[in-house]
Amino acid sequence: MTDPAPIGFAVVDKDVGWTSHDVVAKARGVLGTRKVGHSGTLDPGATGVLVLGVGRATKLLRFITALPKTYVAEVILGVETDSLDADGDVTTTHEMGGVELAAIQAAAVDFVGDIEQIPPMVSAIKIEGKRLHQLAREGKTVERKPRPVTIHRLEITRLLEPASPDQTVFEMEVECSSGTYIRTLGADIGTKLGGGASLRALRRTAIGSFGVERAQPVEDVIVTPPVEALADYPQIVVDDQTRTLITHGRPVGEELVESTGSADGPWLVLAADGQLLALHERVESGRIKPAVVMVSSGS
């Protein structure tokens, strides 16, 4: 008798050179199931936390994607590239040697809070059915609309050794909303300082409470049960009668979520024994409905 396919989340420490798709393909072989997906793409040149959904937990991946992200990046002042990072071709250089740490920190203040970013051409965003990186490979540049993002925390931590005296390299730590481009943030700080910039290195250190200390090489992935992995969200524990309604896909009452202290959700709905039954969210009508039901009515 074969072991049942695992259900849950795995936290991978992605190595440089791997695409997120490469990690998923490898994890399918390691875990023995085709049903593996990822949350929050990392560029091949970046390293760090990549969360995989396994089995039925792939239906919950969008709730992992929505969590804040934390990064550590190295930024080169004085070098612009077409991809805004070290993987691209140099397009412009500036004399930006000797920029002081205090000046960079002062410039970075304007980027904390709710801001707008123009997505880079080398990105996975689709415009008129084509991904921007496909258009970029064809030598095309298209207009991109600014997108709202939130920078929760931005710290310019130290200066690093540059490759040239014309450059200044600094390290920054960023905690931000989903959808933030750290490449764009680095480039915009360079522009603010009167020149230009690109990333030299990027490492994602956390997605929500999934810190890099929990991450494993893809060859050694460990699947964590969904209820443990979704600890960032408030929980509702229901009795057997309500459990029956939940497994039939019914909405829950406002009184159930009030006790969690979260007015917006989403909420994990658990049975008395701790089993994850469903994940509910508030919809436009104000009702609290199941986004994903994890246990069928016959279970």
List active site positions.
Answer: 43
Q: Tokens in use for 82?
A: 């077409």
Residue with token string 């929760």: 152
Q: Tokens in use for 286?
A: 């104000």
Report strand pairing: 197-207 vs 47-54: parallel
Q: What is the C-alpha to C-alpha distance for residues 2 and 283, in angstroms, rounded to an integer?
A: 40
Contacts of 198 (CB under 8 A, 6+ apart): 75, 76, 79, 80, 81, 83, 84, 85, 86, 88, 183, 186, 187, 190
HEC-encoded secondary structure of 173-195: EEEECCCCCHHHHHHHHHHHCCC
In sequence order, which ranges of 119-253 are alpha helices (DSSP H)?
Answer: 132-137, 182-192, 226-229, 240-247
Query: Which amino acid, 173?
Result: E
Contact 75, 191 (CB under 8 A): no
